[in-house]
Structure 1
Amino acid sequence: MRMRHASGLAAVAALLAATAAPAFAAPADPADSLTVDKTARVAKDGTVSISGTYRCTGDTTNEPVYVGSTLRQKSWGDGIGGTRAVCDGKRHRWTNTGRPGEPGYRPGPARVEANMIRLRKDRNGSLMAHYLSSQSRPVKLTAKEQPKDHAK
């Protein structure tokens, strides 16, 4: 049952993180940072992988932190996965992977928007997203190499 709950929180976090940070967001702690790599990858089956780095501090036992991302190409955009963050003050790598629907993504220019959010319960017990860091940048979407089958 605990795994279901964690999966549900990840889905909520990914959805919230895929939206732009609201104008009323509190200033981020300077110890919290987020980057997006300049290259993202798309496999032949349409699976997209986006990555970067993050750093955050604070206890995540009762207030989980997630890195969510959105990929945009031409007029198409999709949330691509979500990663649960480890907030120990050290820099960590994140990779979000997802397989969006049609029309799918092609190698070429694209844009990634990434958000790092902390989920906190308000007085009523509802989860509220607190934006810690965001980055939006152009990326080059490249074809991901498929493993070669060496069996003959």
Structure 2
Amino acid sequence: MSTLPDDYQPPDPHTLPTGPLDTSTSSYGFSHTMIRIKDPRVSLNFYTRILGMTLIRIMPMPAGKFTNYFLCYPQSEVPDKDNHDQLMHWLWQQQGVLELCHNWGTELPSSGFEGDKSGNEPEHKGFGHICVFVDDLHQACDRFTKLGVQFKKRPEDG
């Protein structure tokens, strides 16, 4: 873990470069987040059965030896999954799409892939978390516990 100098001061947030509003970006929106996963069976179980997301599209990419899984909480009726173009157009209109990327073979112990680094460990700082809002945090956590989720950190732990 690195140590900060005693006289360290973080950047003044009022001096950070945010830039003026640029009308050429007014139609931009946040599309999706991609996370690499170790084992699609484990990850899809968590995101669909535990968090209640809907698996919208599975896209095997044999040339690259990976498969992408697209999930979301649909805000409208999901189109016919056999119509790729229509489905992908609809998917990119959704908010908060999660793309899980499985590089083939990472689920094998011999791969050495450690897909569960959260970014909260000193030697792996970077990625922090994704946020899913729920109606009642404690009820949701009780449900997760009953479904066998092993917490790395519970909400009451800060």
Question: Which range, TM-score by smaller chain?
Answer: under 0.3
Q: Which has the higher helix share?
A: 2
| TM-score w.r.t. length of structure 1 | 0.27
Q: Which has the higher strand share?
A: 1
Between Structure 1 and Structure 2, whose CA radius of gyration is higher?
2
Query: Which of 1 and 2 has higher RCO (CA within 8 Å, sep 6+)?
Result: 1
